[in-house]
A and B are shown apart, each in its own frame.
Chain A
């Protein structure tokens, strides 16, 4: 069969991830220190795991209601109001298969072929792919190191056209660690005035912000922003629950009706065991997530100081668990740097351009690893950079 002529055009046109080869290579090598993952090194706190086990013990193995267990919807509204001053009704909560499903639903709910989706880059790789599957046009907006990788109102305004339908708002950001503070959100609000542009605010890293300032959701700053925004969040990063595949979104009621329809047909409901576990997480784990965040903060400071000492300029990120140092001082491109670092020092990091063309010249380093692991990796990266500079 010649499958190629059978595939949908949009699926066939999707580009496979360019760095898959690089990481298969890394996986085959021995003694590789990886800083490549995108998830916590913690196991899910025991009381959450126990709640999942208990639900299996009781035989809670059926589908839940499409939108999720009502007790979980209620706990999510309490959590959002307690942590981020976001006020929603339980009926405005949709429990999804990871934050990823909520992203998929939102893009599918709004994007017609030809619609433009504004995408601050570098960013998580899924947005652009889903937009393309819907026939939409991703419009990258470059965020810059000198702006601490924030979306600026000038850059946003310059990218807006009549076709702009949706703005992806991925902060705290993977891969840069950039965050938007309240004053920056107000500027974005002003830039959007008079448009009908909707926002997908991906707040999956909301619990992981550093330097004493808590994450502010753009949906919390005004009624206008709340009316435009679908807030996506989940349990993966804050509660170290990636494998449970559980997330959620909250949205204005008319938007929720449409998200719900797609979810109902495509997914039916999120995993039942995970939903029971998540209720426990929201009720009893504020302290655990605070402790994990404090630990990430120590590692963040360690790795930022270490990279800057080595001579890889690294802005101090305000959120998530990544740093995004510039590797331009080595004279290499991102992929070349990563390949040579892997080959000669057995350290795996991710080329920045995997997250959008403007990530060229940077690498993403995850610090969700033990401090011993980080110290060893820094020492190997240090040797590598010194050797290059000696040769140059």
Chain B
């Protein structure tokens, strides 16, 4: 099961026959395992990794560090879940260290991000402070290299 998940994390487009071959198991077992993982929520989706900088889309992303006051009984959960509901928010993590929540958010331009922080995040009840860091360039994302791969320099040897 873990080997199957690792392969899918590497490439979600492996076909069932390919997965079965690589794992040395049958196609029906792979299908059953996939269905079980999807049902139980272990697999949360299959998405492409897109380098938007190579398209005409205007695309800006930022990491935001939030310091917050935890709520009695519910800790950070309530706020984290509220923030996660915004569609422009791509990830929400609870962190150890100098701040509490780390978000990544995307927009079309600097202004989008600025108004999200000013009008959506900052006014929230338990948000104490925000620090916004813009991404300048992405080299690797979710394990995929976004820079050109090197040429295969190997020569044919018998």
Chain A residues within 8 Å of B, Cβ to Cβ: 17, 19, 23, 26, 34, 36-39, 41, 124-125, 174-175, 298-299, 301-302, 304-306, 309, 348, 350, 354-355, 371-372, 375
Contacts and interface: CB of A to CB of B under 8 A. Distances in A.
B157 to A, nearest CB: 4
A19 B7 CA distance: 36
B155 interface: yes
A354 B157 CA distance: 11
Contacts of B152: 34, 37, 41
B22 A298 contact: yes
Given A34-B152, A371-B11, A372-B11, A125 B158 contact: yes
Nearest to B15: A375
Most buried by A among B11, B21, B152: B21
Contacts of A354: 158
A101 B156 CA distance: 19
A302 B21 contact: yes
A37 B21 contact: no
Interface string B25-68: 00000000000000000000000000000000000000000000
A295 to B, nearest CB: 10
B158 A301 contact: no
Contacts of A38: 156-158
Interface string B1-32: 00000010011001001101111100000000
Nearest to A355: B158
B11 A301 contact: no
A239 to B, nearest CB: 16
Contact of A39 (B11, B17, B24, B154): B154
Most buried by A among B10, B14, B157: B157
Contacts of B158: 17, 19, 38, 124-125, 174-175, 350, 354-355
Contacts of B20: 305
Interface residues of B, number: 17
Contacts of A36: 156
Top 4 A-B pairs ranked by shortest CB distance? A305-B21, A38-B157, A298-B22, A36-B156
25 contacts: A17-B158, A19-B158, A26-B156, A34-B152, A36-B156, A37-B152, A37-B154, A37-B155, A37-B157, A38-B158, A39-B154, A39-B157, A124-B158, A301-B22, A301-B23, A302-B18, A302-B22, A305-B21, A306-B21, A309-B17, A348-B156, A350-B158, A354-B158, A371-B10, A371-B18
Contacts of B7: 298
Contacts of B17: 305, 309
A39 B18 CA distance: 24
Contacts of B154: 37, 39, 41
Contact of A34 (B10, B18, B156): B156
A71 B14 CA distance: 45
A23 B21 CA distance: 30
Nearest to B10: A371
A301 B22 CA distance: 5
B5 to A, nearest CB: 14
Nearest to B157: A38
Contacts of B157: 37-39
